[in-house]
Amino acid sequence: MHDLELTEEQRMVRDMARDFARSEVAPNARAWEQAGWLDNATVAQLGELGLLGMIVPEQWGGTYTDYVAYALAVEEISAADGALGALMSIHSSVGCGPLLKYGTAQQQNRWLPDLATGRIIGCFALTEPQAGSEAHNLRTRAVLKNGEWQIDGAKQFVSNGKRAKLAIVFAVTDPELGKKGLSAFLVPTDNPGFIVDRMESKMGLRASDTCGVTLRDCRIPQANLLGPRGKGLAIALSNLEGGRIGIAAQALGIARAAFEAALGYARERVQFDKPIIEHQSVANMLADMHTRLNAARLLILHAARLRSAELPCLSEASQAKLFASEVAEYVCSRAVQIHGGYGYLEDYPVERYYRDARITQIYEGTSEIQRLLIARELGHYDL
């Protein structure tokens, strides 16, 4: 995408994120993966730069510009380390987003300034062992007793689950009401009833703390109900647009890094007396990779512009997430292929990019769910 399509502010945000990513993140990504943990000081720096408050207005300490700048920044951070890009995207979209839309003034004033500046990280506890895409099929229960909510249940795949200081937890408050019986709660993770069972050992994004969580006699004040009672499903679904734009940008960043690595390798690696980029089979692969990356970026920025204008963009965000995540696997796979046997070794970063990219077709809505939503939207058109 040409810079002429960006505002000066958007370019400044992108360039700042890129400089930080290249100098502070990329050189350390492999070590963080091996440690299974993102460096605390780097996460704090991310907050100090304003990159963890990009969807939060200035009145709460945020740095909101628009979703285009946000998508560009997520892409740059993810190109350096997909795990840090995941933290940034998840913290912003489903950590800050529900509070912005549904929080009371008291809740917003209490939590948003710390979230926006990265002094604390947020997480989103919706998925359960038996309930993934079927978000309304939850077994976690919240019962109001003596002015307190008591929450009991189990959550799975909680990104930022160990690092986070605030969790948005979804639980059934009125089982007889079905989908209308689900509510959302603000749960400080230092609550003795919020128990991180384990950090999952994953194929990729290994430095991102994905956790299983148990809520056992977890008691919170009545005032910690987020939004109206029974509106939990609406709250869970309300941040899909921003969340999917973020994950699409993460996928794009990972894919772009793989493409750049493959391009550099193809220019240097000599076979049959010439750089392999001069072999048509390799050149054609690189051309296809480059084209798909640019197409993915255009879809993402189109959805981001609609979101910035507060226009409906559920289908556009789903298209961006679907396409970018599948492009990421396509590009990363071919980057490994271009490296040959070396692409299978940890000495080269493309094997990490390949592993990191795979999750983007699964979380924040699987590719199958994206296609379902896109097809459903087609029902509104007179074809």
**Catalytically annotated residues:** 364
**Rounded CA gap, 307 and 293, in Å?**
21
According to DSSP, the β-strands at 166-172 and 122-125 are parallel
CB 55 within 8 Å of CB 70 = yes
DSSP letter assigned to residue 183? E
Q: Would you give the DSSP letter of residue 96? A: I
Structure tokens at 134: 């079927």
Residue with tokens 């199958």: 368
What residue type is 380 in one-letter code?
H
Quote the tokens at residue 377: 């939207």
CA-CA distance, 202 to 250, in Å (whole number)? 17
**3-state DSSP call for residue 159?**
strand
Query: Using alpha carbons only, what angle is made at residue 8 by residues 5 and 11, rounded to the nearest 5 degrees?
Result: 75
Q: How far is CA 104 from the centre of its chain?
A: 25
Angle at 240 between CA 369 and CA 4, to 5 degrees: 110
User: What is the gyration radius of the CA atoms in the chain, in angstroms?
Assistant: 21
**Integer CA distances (angstroms), 105 to 59, 60, 117, 213, in order:** 12, 11, 18, 28
The Cα 138–Cα 321 span in angstroms is 25
